[in-house]
Amino acid sequence: MKLTTGFFASLAISAAGAAAFDVNCNSNYASYYGQNSALNQQALGDYCKDAIEDVIVLAFMDGFPSILLNFANACETTFDGSTLLHCPSMATDIQYCQSQGKAVILSMGGASGAYGFSSDSDGTAFADTVWDMFFKGNATQRPFDDAVLDGIDLDIEGGGATGYAAFINQMRTHYASDTSKSYYITGAPQCPFPDAYLGSTLDSAWFDMVYVQFYNNYCGLNAYPTWFNYGDWDSWAQTTSVNKDVKIFIGAPGSATAAGSGYVDGSTLSTIYNAVRANYTSLGGIMTWD
């Protein structure tokens, strides 16, 4: 979901200074792309023609370990004789976005779909598959051809926790095999703490960024300041997270129609963002949901 430069001016986030993604900043902007909730989704590359976005999260791989991809109208073609999406236009756009200093990450999970692991060994094996298909591997069918993604996001909203920590550990082993670029692990828990589905994985595996969904729950942005609970997530980041430098993003609906509840206008979001920035060093920036 595209936000305007004016919106970022109201947040005191400098679009002009966002040309190259730096995970250590507290003013990054991550946006989910691919679900076309506002029915006006543009080509991926169109969102990389200015300096506003820092991270684009492709949503979703909503089926695994039997892989199903869904990027709405952004990609609707498949490999011959297969249900696996083949997205050459998105591949070109991914490489263009990366050339503009953006990180492009693939999100696994979502609110609907069929996904999950039955064992740690399943999670480990699937990490090998993901590396081969979306990173520096050699799979015969690669949805984004020779484009190499910058990371994996876990937006787990159903099923059990089995296998996810093992998956992350194996992905990080693959990451370490390629020192030519930085790779990331991110997660998107819902704001009630601890998260019902991702909580144990957040406690036991490495995450670089966590995009907390402050919407569709009692602790959403619309409940600020009474029930808004960024402080719980900051405490987790400082005391429990495996990565004590993990960055927490304030997750917001990109429009009034993007979520059932939690949408706030730019002025209100600016107030919340600036209050969090003044009080918590774990802040990574803003995430918007398409």
Q: Supply the residues annotated as catalytic.
A: 157
End-to-end CA distance of the chain: 4
CA distance 282 to 238: 8
121 exposed, middle or buried (CB, 10 Å; 0-12, 13-18, 19+)?
A: exposed
The amino acid occupying position 285 is G
- Distance from the Cα of residue 246 to its chain's centroid: 14
φ/ψ (deg, to 5) at 210? -130, 120
Burial 136-161 (b: 16+ CB within 10 A, else e): eeeeeebbbeebbbbbbbbbbbeeeb
Are 170 and 123 a contacting pair, CB within 8 Å?
yes
The helices-and-strands tally (H runs, E runs) of the chain is: 7, 10
| CA-based nearest residue to 263, from 216, 230, 201 | 216
- Write phi, then psi, for 171 (nearest 5 degrees): -60, -40
Distance CA 131, CA 220 (A): 34
Alpha carbon of residue 82 to chain centroid? 27
185 Cα distance to chain centroid: 9
How would DSSP label each residue in 148-206? --SEEEEEE-SS--TTHHHHHHHHHHHHHT-TTS--EEEE--BSSSS-TTTHHHHHHS-
